[in-house]
Amino acid sequence: MQMNDMVIISVDDHISEPPNMFRRHLQGYELASAPQFHTTDSGADYWTYQGMTLTSVGLNAVVGRVPEEYGMEPQSLAQVRRGCYDPKARIDDMNVNGIAASLNFGSVGGFDGSRCFHKAADKNLALTHLRAYNDWHIQEWCGHDRARFIPCALLPTWNMHATVQEIERIARLGCSSVTLSENPTKAGLPSIHNAYWEPMWKALVEHDITICLHIGSGNAAPHASMETPIEAWITTMPMSIATGAADWLQLDALNRYQDMKIILSESGIGWVPYFLERADFSHWRHKAWTHSGFGGRKPSEVFRKHFMSCFIDDAFGLKNLAEIGEDMVAYECDYPHSDALWPEVPEWLWKSVQGLTDQQIDKVTHLNAMRMLRFDPFQKYAREQLTVGALRARAAADQVDIKPISTGGAAPLAEGETARRITSGDIVKMFEKQARAA
């Protein structure tokens, strides 16, 4: 196999939603009361919903931006690539990057909807608007080309009856994955170990729908202090999901529902071998008094059966693929976030998979994702049409523009301050400033 022969499916990308996303799915008061898009006099975009202000529409949508400006997060759609909010332009950017298909998380509602819908005072309206969001995501964004986009829906988990109904509804629409909080207690809901969730587990398994747990959807990625250099925070972000993974690994429902499928989105994979070793040791050493139960299996066996881990650039993890499980690893691009290697994913990925067999390369680049998400782009396109080489040839023919974006922004430093390390506090202050401006 050569680099241009790879077929790459990304199981974690992101959308900065367009202003008109609800217009085809709501009308009258339901439309007027839905999240509303605004632009300040200074040109910054933001949303409002039920008294909440949701800033930084283009949050971290820095793909294509000159690296020196990464610290100044885009504040408007005008500052980002059109592929962040337009599915046709996204496919152009996928072609440039050799990406055959993509699963996308939203921004306005947060990765799991808890940013606005779960916090809304009027939950009846929130339910209506969450469903409309799913309709837009499934029918418009993914509907632009269902062989290139993988639907991933939100659930109204504050209402279990409505959650089960929505699972049934999105299943009829052809959606095979949902995104949930890794720690629902952060939203005031019962823990995943509470009987409250039993109807949801049952419905998800019955409809063969995969759960996606994105980092930061419940347990915030920690940073040591406001003076901590931002690179330290960025370094540990993928591994922050280990806390949620350990919690979910102890989920008793995994013993009852042998077909439950969970994806740890934006998790990385290099930490997994030790995590599994430690889980097995902890269970062996402490089960006499902890009374934990894995149905007679080792924790590592449960993990390798139910959990898929994903990587952006993880050569170490791929070198230790046997310790993770070659059938439960998938690729993610993370477009348009700052870790995304657009438009050079194939080059970076090809270096990382050296030493793997062609079959293993196919598994981690697309076959595992296709199986886990019940998604088959080859029903519409021949494999030869979705290879890195074929997609890039299409992008070249379409003359997709990839010149760097620059708005002349500077790093988030105080007035008169000389260049220094950017800290976690600098970024927090930047977000607070944007919130005040909105």
Task: Report the candidate in 98, 145, 139 with the shortest Cα–Cα distance to residue 381.
Answer: 145
Q: How far apart are the first and last CA of the chain?
A: 51
Query: Using an 8 Å Cβ cutoff, are 197 and 190 in contact?
Result: yes
Number of residues written out for the chain: 438
pLDDT above 60: residue 414:
no
Give the pTM: 0.95
Instruction: Grade residue 434 by pLDDT with cuts at 50, 70 and 90.
Output: low
Contacts of residue 352, defined as CB under 8 A and 6 or more positions apart, other chains included, come to: 313, 314, 315, 318
Q: Which helix (H) or strand (E) holds 218?
A: none
pLDDT band, very low/low/confident/very high, at 416 (cuts 50, 70, 90): low
Residue identified by tokens 């009829």 is 172
d(CA 295, CA 281): 16
pLDDT tens-digit profile of 288-342? 999 998 989 999 999 999 999 999 999 999 999 999 999 999 999 999 999 999 9
pLDDT of residue 346: 98
Average pLDDT of the chain, as a whole number:
93
Percent with pLDDT over 90 in the chain: 82
Architecture in CATH for domain 3-277+305-437: Alpha-Beta Barrel (3.20)
pLDDT score recorded for residue 63: 93
Peptide bond connecting 343 to the previous residue in cis, omega within 30 degrees of 0 = yes
Residue 77 CA to residue 99 CA, distance in Å, equals: 23
Point out which residues pair with 104 in neighbouring strands. 13
Q: What is the pLDDT of residue 181?
A: 96
Cα–Cα distance, 262 to 250 (Å, whole number):
13
pLDDT (tens digit per residue) in 190-217: 999 999 999 999 999 999 999 999 998 9
Q: Are 59 and 73 in contact (CB under 8 A)?
A: yes
Query: Of 356, 341, 358, 275, whose CA–CA distance to 309 is shortest?
Result: 275
- List, in order, residues 6 or more apart from 381 with CB less than 8 Å away: 147
User: Tokens at residue 336, please?
Assistant: 């348009």
- How much is the pLDDT for 180? 98
Both tokens of 386, joined, read 């979705």
113 sits in the region (left: phi over 0; alpha: psi -120 to 50; else beta) called: left
Q: Quote the pLDDT of residue 14.
A: 96
- Category of 64 on φ-ψ map: left (φ > 0), alpha (ψ -120 to 50) or beta: left
pLDDT digits (tens, 9 = 90+) for 246-301: 999 999 999 999 999 999 999 999 999 999 999 999 999 999 999 998 989 999 99
Report yes or no: 35 and 48 within 8 Å, Cβ to Cβ. yes
Q: Which residue has the higher pLDDT, 437 or 24?
A: 24
The reported pLDDT for the residue numbered 289 is 96
CA distance 255 to 296: 9
Q: How confident is the model at residue 366 (pLDDT cuts 50, 70, 90)?
A: very high
Q: CA-to-CA distance for 226 and 429, rounded, in angstroms?
A: 10
Please, is 298 exposed, middle or buried when counting C-beta atoms within 10 Å of its C-beta (0-12, 13-18, 19+)? middle
Indicate whether 172 pLDDT > 60.
yes
Q: Kindly list the domain boundaries of the chain, sorted by start residue.
A: 3-277+305-437
Residue 106 has pLDDT above 80, yes or no: yes
- For residue range 45-88, list pLDDT tens digits in order: 999 999 999 876 555 789 998 888 887 677 889 989 999 999 99
Mean pLDDT in residue range 346-354: 98
